[in-house]
């Protein structure tokens, strides 16, 4: 249709082109489309005509200006698209020139189209050289946003850059980390899939396979792609493909159905009604262009009289295909002549279906965007009226510049372009659901708006039906989620989504699913059995409530009671010869020190505190030195007593009771001095030991100064050895009750216990270190009291006939004499 300014249109009405054989000897035949006509493509074409007629009838937009159009069928092929682009760039056909517009430019002001990205790229490279703006309604390749290569390109449909990001977020939202990917082997499919894979990688999604194909491939190639899908382990497939390519692939899959797969579709095919025949795709989900309403369009589409149809070859082809008849002037001979009873109102066709106006609205907005650009170039607002210069000539470059600035709303739908010629990206989330009648229908279940803040772009507002009619989200993962208490270890040679779930090492936990690493618990905590949380470590010390502590405490108290009972026996028989003959004063002092030795072991039981730590070692050291000093004094008394019987010996006056007391006090004072220095310089203190056991805490007393501890033990050992040597020397002295023999045995036991104590103490872990020390104290204390006092008590209690002076003086009177002294 002619007009003051003409807009070009390029649409895919057919999806195939006749094959041309180039002999290079004859002029090739003109390029022609073949195959059946696409009802949706025809509806889109007619929407452009409707928009132009609506603008021509408007009094606000381009008043007094008449727009014309010149529309071509690209056959969805690049050769035809290039051919059409040259026709549009070369100028209008002579039939478009009239006396009214012969002064106007011969080129179109702008081009609407093409439907595919690859044909659009070809058209843009040609029309761009002439600064003719191109506004596409369906070319979504992100590559077309490059203004350096395509400066004249605009579109009313969002770029695949946004769709790819939206698809990646959709896949991530439903937890699909292991997917398959198929794409059209075209600019649309390859660039779109590349953008999706990049976005998916950032979201942590792994792709099992990525296959490309096109409808012109041999069937073997399509079969190979179908076999890859059938053999795959991923349950979700993302298809970035054109409608024509998807139809071929789905037809191949329908011949030998694959296991159930969840399809995720791009906007090109997910809202195409022709693909709803593939029932195994029920549950498919993807992003589509927003569904819209164009008032008056349906009436316009249905307003087709036989006269109008006959005037257009495209409409004629559609009419004959829809009603299976031929018009009188048609060249078709294999069909009956249409008899006039054909009613397009009753026709069920994508052409007449206006319930899903998505891409159609993109064409509608594209035409209005061009009209607004022309309006801004030739019209001026004066005194609330619009004046348009119908006579002046404008160039396409002027329209191109004004297109960059358009910003308006049409039927409530905003139209504007950013610096890349792209609109604001908004999508509907479309789900293929079965209706009550059993047919598959498109249901909008959510929205995506890229203009919203990060994290708020995606919104689902109703239930989704998944593959096979399920209501539960299908699972598509390479490996199930690792539970708490484990961490992921990647499988060699496989993507990051394929991993083994390995339990956390000892002492570490993971408190979240799919943890990459485990982390250690703090020092005072330890993992529970499931290794998913840290719990307080069990605190261990030798307590009065456990069996070992009760046993040791019982022996300790029992030993103290035994010493007290022995002292009581000696006190009651203090005038008896055997008590007097064994130096009663030192005996009572020895029994007192042994009582303290038994009782000091109780300080080792219970939770260590600052005072108990200082008390236990010092009390042990001092009481044992007091004990050994008494034994040493008794040994020296035995030796001196026998030396006193020699003629002219006055040794006893130098080792009388006073000297004995001073000897005991002197030896004890040295130990007190050692302990005092230890407590002042570096005293023992309570501490938590984390090194012996990883899973529990040992409460123990740190020595503070190891030198002080070993000095205390060393001094005790020195006295014990000295006493043992003297006792050995005196063991064969004549006397029925020679104490040196018993002292020798007691010192032998004492030394054996404490010699074995050292390696046992060093090697025993935790509370057993304390138990070993208590055992050494009790064993040596029992050794002393039993070896020294048991024989005497036995005589006193059970052999009183031997507890007489006569028996004591049988062989030597010196011991009895010294006892009297």
- Mean pLDDT value across residues 624-646: 74
- Mean pLDDT value across residues 387-404: 89
What the block records as the tokens of 260 is 């159930």
What is the C-alpha to C-alpha distance for residues 670 and 175, in angstroms, rounded to an integer? 78
Asked if residue 426 lies in contact with residue 448, where contact means CB atoms within 8 angstroms, the answer is yes
pLDDT tens-digit profile of 476-499?
999 888 999 999 999 888 888 899
What is the C-alpha to C-alpha distance for residues 685 and 101, in angstroms, rounded to an integer? 108
**What's the confidence (pLDDT) of residue 406?**
96
- pLDDT band (50, 70, 90) for residue 103: very low
**What's the confidence (pLDDT) of residue 562?**
92
302, 307, 343, 429, 737 from 337: Cα distances, Å: 21, 15, 15, 45, 150
Q: How far is CA 260 from the centre of its chain?
A: 28
Asked if residue 352 lies in contact with residue 344, where contact means CB atoms within 8 angstroms, the answer is yes
**What's the confidence (pLDDT) of residue 814?**
40
Confidence check: pLDDT of 97 > 50: no
pLDDT tens-digit profile of 65-74?
999 999 999 9
What is the C-alpha to C-alpha distance for residues 90 and 228, in angstroms, rounded to an integer? 47
Q: Nearest to residue 809, comparing CAs of 575, 580, 650, 637?
A: 580
Q: Nearest to residue 587, comparing CAs of 296, 790, 733?
A: 790
Give the range with max mean pLDDT: 502-511, 574-583, 739-748: 502-511
**What's the confidence (pLDDT) of residue 72?**
94
- pLDDT band (50, 70, 90) for residue 445: very high
> Where are the alpha helices (H) located in 235-281, listed in sequence order?
243-255, 267-270
**Mean residue pLDDT across the chain:** 86
Asked if residue 202 lies in contact with residue 234, where contact means CB atoms within 8 angstroms, the answer is no
- pLDDT band (50, 70, 90) for residue 475: very high
29, 419, 669, 722, 808 from 815: Cα distances, Å: 148, 122, 29, 22, 8
Report the chain's C-alpha Rg in angstroms.
53
Cis upstream peptide for 114 (omega within 30°): yes
Count of residues in the chain: 821
- Mean pLDDT value across residues 164-186: 94
- pLDDT band (50, 70, 90) for residue 604: confident
CB atoms within 10 A of CB 311: 10
- pLDDT band (50, 70, 90) for residue 110: very high
pLDDT tens-digit profile of 423-439?
999 999 999 999 888 89
């Amino acid at each position: 249709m002619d007009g003051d300014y003409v807009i070009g249109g390029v649409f895919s009405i057919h999806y195939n082109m006749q094959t041309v054989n180039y002999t290079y000897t004859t002029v090739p035949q003109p390029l022609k489309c073949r195959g059946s006509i696409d009802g949706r493509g025809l509806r889109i074409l007619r929407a452009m005509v409707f928009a132009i007629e609506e603008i021509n009838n408007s009094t606000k937009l381009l008043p007094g200006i008449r727009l014309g159009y010149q529309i071509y069928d690209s056959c969805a092929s690049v050769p035809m698209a290039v051919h059409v682009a040259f026709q549009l760039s070369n100028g209008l056909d002579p039939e478009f020139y009239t006396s009214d517009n012969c002064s106007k430019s011969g080129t179109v002001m702008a081009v609407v189209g093409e439907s595919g990205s690859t044909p659009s790229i070809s058209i843009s490279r040609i029309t761009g050289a002439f600064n003719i703006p191109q506004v596409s309604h369906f070319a979504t390749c992100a590559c077309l946003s490059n203004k350096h290569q395509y400066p004249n390109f605009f579109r009313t449909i969002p770029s695949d850059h946004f769709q790819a990001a939206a698809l990646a977020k959709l896949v991530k939202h439903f937890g699909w980390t292991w997917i398959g990917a198929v794409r059209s082997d075209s600019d649309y499919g390859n660039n779109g899939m590349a953008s999706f894979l990049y976005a998916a990688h950032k979201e942590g999604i792994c792709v099992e396979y990525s296959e490309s194909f096109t409808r012109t491939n041999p069937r073997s190639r399509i079969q190979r792609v179908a076999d890859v899908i059938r053999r795959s382990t991923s349950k979700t497939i993302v298809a970035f493909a054109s409608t024509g390519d998807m139809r071929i692939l789905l037809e191949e899959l329908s011949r030998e159905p694959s296991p159930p797969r969840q399809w995720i579709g791009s906007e090109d095919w997910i809202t195409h009604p022709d693909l709803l025949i593939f029932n195994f795709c029920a549950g498919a989900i993807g992003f589509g262009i927003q569904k819209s309403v164009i008032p008056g369009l349906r009436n316009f589409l249905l307003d087709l009289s036989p006269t109008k149809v006959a005037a257009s070859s495209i409409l004629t082809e559609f009419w004959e295909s829809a009603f299976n008849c031929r018009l009188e002037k048609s060249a078709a001979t294999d069909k009956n002549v249409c008899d006039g009873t054909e009613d397009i109102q009753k026709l069920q066709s994508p052409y007449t279906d206006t319930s899903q106006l998505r891409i159609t609205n993109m064409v509608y907005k594209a035409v209005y965007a061009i009209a607004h650009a022309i309006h801004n170039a030739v019209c001026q607002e004066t005194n609330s009226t619009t004046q348009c210069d119908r006579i002046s000539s404008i160039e396409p470059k002027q329209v191109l510049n004004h297109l960059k600035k358009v910003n308006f709303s049409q039927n409530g739908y905003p139209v504007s372009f950013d610096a890349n010629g792209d609109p604001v990206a908004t999508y509907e989330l479309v789900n293929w659901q079965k209706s009550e009648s059993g047919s598959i229908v498109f249901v909008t279940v959510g929205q995506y708006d890229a203009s919203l803040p990060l994290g708020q772009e995606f919104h689902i507002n109703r239930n989704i039906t998944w593959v096979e009619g399920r209501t539960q989200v299908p699972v598509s993962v390479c490996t199930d989620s690792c539970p708490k208490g484990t961490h992921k270890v990647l499988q060699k040679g496989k993507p990051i989504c394929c991993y083994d779930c390995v339990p956390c090492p000892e002492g570490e936990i993971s408190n979240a699913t799919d943890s990459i690493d485990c982390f250690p618990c703090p020092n005072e905590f330890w993992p529970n059995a499931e290794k998913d949380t840290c719990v307080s470590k069990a605190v261990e010390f030798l307590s009065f409530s456990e069996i070992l502590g009760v046993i040791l405490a019982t022996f300790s108290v029992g030993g103290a009671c035994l010493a007290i009972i022995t002292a009581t026996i000696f006190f009651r028989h203090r005038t008896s010869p055997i008590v007097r003959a064994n130096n009663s004063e030192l005996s009572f002092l020895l029994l007192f020190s042994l009582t303290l030795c038994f009782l000091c072991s109780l300080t080792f039981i219970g939770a260590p505190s600052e005072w108990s730590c200082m008390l236990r070692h010092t009390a042990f050291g001092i009481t044992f030195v007091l004990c050994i000093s008494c034994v040493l004094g008794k040994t020296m008394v035995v030796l001196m007593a026998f030396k006193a019987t020699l003629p002219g010996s006055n040794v006893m006056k130098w080792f009388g009771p006073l000297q004995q007391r001073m000897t005991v006090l002197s030896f004890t004072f040295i130990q007190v001095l050692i302990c005092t220095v230890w407590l002042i310089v570096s005293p023992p203190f309570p501490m938590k030991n984390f090194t012996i056991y990883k899973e529990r805490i040992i409460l123990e007393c740190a020595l503070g100064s190891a030198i002080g501890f070993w000095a205390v033990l060393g001094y005790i050992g020195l006295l014990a050895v000295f006493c043992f040597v003297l006792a050995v020397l005196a063991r064969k002295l004549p006397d029925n009750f020679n104490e040196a023999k018993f002292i020798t045995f007691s010192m032998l036991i004492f030394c054996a216990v404490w010699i074995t104590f050292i390696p046992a103490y060093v090697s025993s872990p935790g509370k057993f270190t304390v138990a070993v020390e208590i055992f050494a104290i009790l064993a040596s204390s029992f050794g002393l009291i039993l070896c020294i006092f048991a024989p005497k008590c036995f005589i006193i209690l059970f052999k009183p006939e031997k507890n007489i002076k006569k028996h004591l003086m049988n062989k030597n009177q010196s011991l009895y004499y010294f006892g009297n002294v």
